[in-house]
A and B are shown apart, each in its own frame.
Chain A
């Protein structure tokens, strides 16, 4: 397959991350917990209850998602905003680079001497085709 060495390494990195997330599930590492794969808070809770059973929080959140579903939706929104901005960034860079290469190729190959684009104009064209 025509996958570059670079792309292979990137895919490999992603696979290792996925494996690190899936292995604890696949190996059933949460099986002996009462509630498997809750937040690490479940354990910190026990620790604090042991240390100070009388502690009362003195402030509560201004807004609380009404259910676990809404909460995960909001977490998904957070991830989506982040992923969207990252994708925009890399998309923009990729477009600019391609525009740059196209402009260079056009200058090197096709253009007869009298219509050759000066370097400044080529840079302008890159910017346009990039965005």
Chain B
């Protein structure tokens, strides 16, 4: 690792300026993945997004009444990924909001809703980018939702209370998004001395430590919205399998689910 002086001339200062936008919080900035990486991540993401569009279309056709809740899930992602929050490391980052939709509508739906959010930010906010869209979609709209959903399902299988499972689902969706971003950056910028793992350690510590408190916040906010949904949309949640009408309701006194 060679310490880089900032006074090495004009070229360095331009690089410095551009590098300032390298990773806005979590998304990889425009032009900051080498073309081969950009194409590869785009190719990896595309089938997930296509599959997501299909399953979303089917869902809306079969259950038109769920359109509103789908919109609300997308809106939750919109709000949370616009919230830049200070963290214990003395820097800022933002949550993703993808855990809620993944739990309600399964991860394919989030491949679409997350992509819409990322496109909005890439086009209007110069946050993320079009050439890095594939990589950012992969981390935030695919890997995060699937990881969070897997944890949620696993916890539910072992009869963990709904809200606890929701918390950890959202927490993991948020944190794993950052881990994948770190891997993507480390693949593109392996450390000349310590290689991929060295770079991964470097990016990972930067992101993970910043993100842990934010992932806790995201978990709590997701629990809050889920509690409001349990109060307001029981029928919908039962149809989506989040609330179980049969066995579980008998095993527990009524209403304990709602306040758990």
* Interface: A86 (CB within 8 A): yes
B202–A53 contact, CB under 8 A?
Answer: no
Known: A40-B210, A85-B72. A65 touches B125 (CB 8 A): yes
* Interface: A97 (CB within 8 A): yes
Across the interface, B3 reaches (CB within 8 A) one of A37, A40, A50, namely A50
A40–B1 contact, CB under 8 A?
Answer: no
Chain B residues near A39 (CB, 8 Å)?
23-25, 84, 91-93
The residue of chain B having its C-beta at the shortest distance from the C-beta of A14 within the complex is B224
Across the interface, A49 reaches (CB within 8 A) one of B16, B211, B221, B258, namely B16
The smallest C-beta distance from A9 to any residue of chain B, in angstroms, reads: 7
- Report how many residues on chain A are interfacial, defined by Cβ distance under 8 Å: 65
* Interface: A115 (CB within 8 A): no
Chain A residues near B191 (CB, 8 Å)?
51
A37–B86 contact, CB under 8 A?
Answer: yes
The residue of chain B having its C-beta at the shortest distance from the C-beta of A54 within the complex is B15
Known: A37-B86, A37-B91. A93 touches B233 (CB 8 A): yes
Identify the 6 closest CB pairs spanning chains A and B, nearest first: A82-B78, A57-B31, A30-B90, A82-B79, A85-B75, A59-B31
- Report how many residues on chain B are interfacial, defined by Cβ distance under 8 Å: 84
* Interface: B173 (CB within 8 A): no
The smallest C-beta distance from B97 to any residue of chain A, in angstroms, reads: 8
Within 8 A of B (CB), among A37-92: 37-45, 47-65, 71, 74-76, 78-79, 81-86, 89-90, 92
Across the interface, A40 reaches (CB within 8 A) one of B76, B207, B233, namely B207
Chain B residues near A90 (CB, 8 Å)?
228, 232
Known: A49-B15, A57-B29, A85-B71. A37 touches B90 (CB 8 A): yes
* Interface: A128 (CB within 8 A): no
* Interface: A3 (CB within 8 A): no
Within 8 A of A (CB), among B213-260: 213-214, 216-217, 220-221, 223-225, 227-228, 231-233, 258-259
* Interface: B199 (CB within 8 A): yes
A17–B217 contact, CB under 8 A?
Answer: yes
* Interface: B129 (CB within 8 A): yes
B199–A89 contact, CB under 8 A?
Answer: no
